[in-house]
Chain A
Amino acid sequence: MGQLSGPTDPTADAHWEHNHPRKGFFTDTSICIGCKACEVACKEWNHNPQDGNLELLGSSYDNTGSLGASTWRHVAFIEQGQERIAEARESGRALVSLGMPRIGPPAAPDLAEADTTPPDTADFRWLMSSDVCKHCTHAGCLDVCPTGALFRTEFGTVVVQDDVCNGCGTCVAGCPFGVIERRSNGTIKVATSREDQHDNHPAVPNVGIAQKCTLCYDRLVDDQTPACAKACPTTSIKFGDHDDMVETARERVANLHAQGMTEARLYGANENDGVGGIGSVFLLLDEPEVYGLPPDPRVPTADLPRMYQRAGLAVAGMAAAAALAFLGGRA
């Protein structure tokens, strides 16, 4: 058993003996155009079945909804007016002035005097963000998996072994980001005219098993870039060594701040956070909950020693109660 919380190298923690660098994403939402090429590339490469029934969700241009068993990249669309933009600028500026302790340059610039005249249209904006599994340093899903189906790869990522998972669903509740999901039988209603065509489609694979992004493990072992990053036309999704991704993210957020975009902030680049940092770092332009991300996630297992302690005390109490009940000896 490795560390349950705090900064660590997850690959070494999982007892991989070689010196393989941790891989990860940096998703720069400031240059995402919402084309959803990542969603499509992910589905195609991983043979993920259709999710839902092609319905319109009525939430801007997002008809995918959320990450799930069959959706491992999800592009969020948020439409915002002037007031919300101003709030985002202010909350971002407050973050910078907290003076986060960090390692190495670039130093946080003093933004008190920064020109915040919007470089884009002032009236409204669209936030677009491609969400993905975070491949946490301390992964709640992996910790609570009873079968060992979820494991830490040599790249520091978290992957489900389809032939081991028995679909107990504990990981679904264990993920602080709501990423992993058990795949339901995925019966899809199809248009009658295309019935024959769909009859020939393969059955939905891995029904009843927990599914999520593998960071294209099958591509990584061949030294290939994950499908989503490969397909992204604007390089909003970057892939590489985790350390390089974090450094790139820090440089990018400093650049945006220098341009007056104080709303820019990083999500998941701090190894002191509740999950020990994440493998998929994001640059966001508003508070995380606006994108459907938790504002202060904490891996539940961090408190597990305490929970076992409390349970032990309760067990002792139960034994004492039973002993007390039988005191007085034979009837």
Chain B
Amino acid sequence: MVPEAEFTSYYGRPVVKPAPWGDDVAIYLFLGGVAAGSALLGLGGQLTGRPTLRRNARLGALAAVSAGAVALVKDLGRPERFLHMLRTFKVTSPMSVGSWILSAFSAGAGVAAVAEIDRMTGSRLPLGPLRKVLQAVEGPAGVEAAVFAGPLAAYTAVLLGDTATPTWNAAHEELPFVFVSSACLASAGLAMVTTPVRETGPARKLAVLGVLGDVAAMKVMEYRMDPIAAEPLHQGKAGAMLKWSERLAVAGGLGTLLGGRNRVVAAASGVALLAASALTRFGVFEAGLASARDPRYTIEPQKNRLAARRAAGVTDDAITTGS
């Protein structure tokens, strides 16, 4: 067995490069989740006869997904070529799969929200004969958006997991659960802010389920991932954001549970939940970038896993060979 060498690097320079992504991408991670959960709440409102919840959730979904898409395009190196995202479909590329999910989701969410806007403005949108079409497809559009809601909330976790960025890659098993939970609590929080309490019963339940899922998935993730690659989740700016994210999620969840029938408490809890979700996304995003900047997080876990395989008798799969 190769003796465990102490950590060396090339003048402390990074081995892998961090993704050239700015805060726009973290904002999208958050807004995509809000949009996804809102589409589910919108469909629920549609199917169970809660018109205000339906309307607000649909408007929220369109606003969030539009702002998120703008943030994504803005972050491209060549924004004018954003349509190149749809020139092919590549299942090996979570970014490609996600672009199609985002497009499909936006189509349904857009139609459903435009129908709401038309109703709110007393049929004043210049739709002409299209109004009848719009009214006919409004319901199916809400269903279609909800079908793509889950994939929209989860694919971003695969996008981060499928990189050589140490902390994201090491988190790939549990990150989808963190992200869908975060989407649930954020969208429920938005509904609690925008909608009177008589229609937000389901949103409150979703908020509590989201908080439970978020806290549990985060703990399991940190427990199961490589301990060295998990360090950036606890350090610096990312560590502080994730700590506050958990506190706000728990506070928002408790507020929802204990005082969710009070309009003011519900709205305050909703704001806390939205903030918690944003901090989760920014925290995970920043932790990954930090892990790519420090060669230790690339080299040490790799050396350890190589040594572990060798200790277990697997000696034929190393990139470095004696012959």
Contact = CB atoms under 8 A, between A and B. Distances in A.
Chain A partners chain B: yes
A1 interface: yes
Given A76-B10, A292-B15, A182 B90 contact: no
A183 B17 CA distance: 13
Interface string B284-310: 000000001001001100110110001
Contact of B180 (A87, A147, A172, A314): A314
B257 interface: no
Interface in A121-173: 140, 143-149, 164-170, 172-173
B133 interface: no
Contact of A289 (B9, B164, B292): B9
Interface in A179-206: 179-183
Interface stretch (A38-46, A217-225, A232-240, A301-309): A301-309
A318 B162 contact: no
Contacts of A180: 17
Contact of B299 (A169, A289, A300): A289
B77 A95 contact: no
Contacts of A306: 172-173
Contact of B48 (A4, A143, A254, A326): A326
A273 B163 CA distance: 17
A293 interface: yes
B94 A144 contact: yes
A278 B320 CA distance: 11
Contact of A318 (B94, B96, B184): B184
A297 B92 contact: no
A170 B93 contact: yes
A230 interface: no
Contacts of A96: 322-323
Interface in B161-219: 161-165, 168-169, 172-174, 176-177, 179-181, 183-184, 188, 198-199, 201-203, 205-206, 209-210, 213
Contacts of A208: 76-78
Interface stretch (A24-32, A48-56, A112-120, A263-271): A263-271
A300 B50 contact: no
A257 B321 CA distance: 13
A329 B48 contact: yes
A35 interface: no
A315 B206 CA distance: 14
A86 interface: no
B201 A331 contact: yes
B157 interface: yes
B87 A148 contact: yes
Given A172-B20, A311-B157, A311-B176, A321 B209 contact: yes
A310 interface: yes
A66 B15 CA distance: 9
A307 B158 contact: yes
A306 to B, nearest CB: 8
A175 interface: yes
A21 interface: no
Given A165-B78, A209-B77, A296-B305, A178 B85 contact: no
Contacts of B201: 328, 331
Interface residues of A, number: 108
Interface in B306-322: 306, 310, 315-322
A294 interface: yes
Contacts of B223: none
A66 B13 contact: yes
B135 interface: no
Contacts of B92: 1, 4, 143-144, 301, 304
A272 B154 contact: no
Given A173-B165, A296-B303, A275 B90 contact: no
B321 A269 contact: yes
Contacts of B180: 314-315, 317-318
Given A172-B19, A289-B9, A300 B169 contact: yes
A168 B95 contact: yes
Interface in B6-26: 8-11, 13-21
A272 B202 contact: no
B49 interface: yes
A81 interface: no
A166 B18 contact: no
B70 interface: no
Given A254-B323, A326-B202, A144 B302 contact: no
Contacts of A310: 172-174, 176-177
A305 to B, nearest CB: 10
A274 interface: yes
Contact of A300 (B5, B82, B95, B164): B164
A257 B41 CA distance: 68
The residue among B82, B154, B188 with the most chain A CB atoms within 10 A of its own CB is: B154
A176 B163 CA distance: 8
A231 interface: no
Contacts of A87: 5
B132 interface: no
B319 A288 contact: yes
Given A267-B319, A292-B13, A296-B319, A318 B40 contact: yes
A170 B95 contact: yes
A145 to B, nearest CB: 6
8 contacts: A66-B14, A97-B322, A170-B159, A177-B16, A208-B76, A278-B319, A312-B154, A315-B153
Interface of B: 1-3, 5, 8-11, 13-21, 36-37, 40-41, 43-44, 47-50, 75-79, 81-82, 84-85, 87-88, 90-96, 99, 149-151, 153-155, 157-159, 161-165, 168-169, 172-174, 176-177, 179-181, 183-184, 188, 198-199, 201-203, 205-206, 209-210, 213, 292, 295, 298-299, 302-303, 305-306, 310, 315-323
3 shortest interchain CB distances as A-B pairs? A167-B77, A208-B77, A292-B10
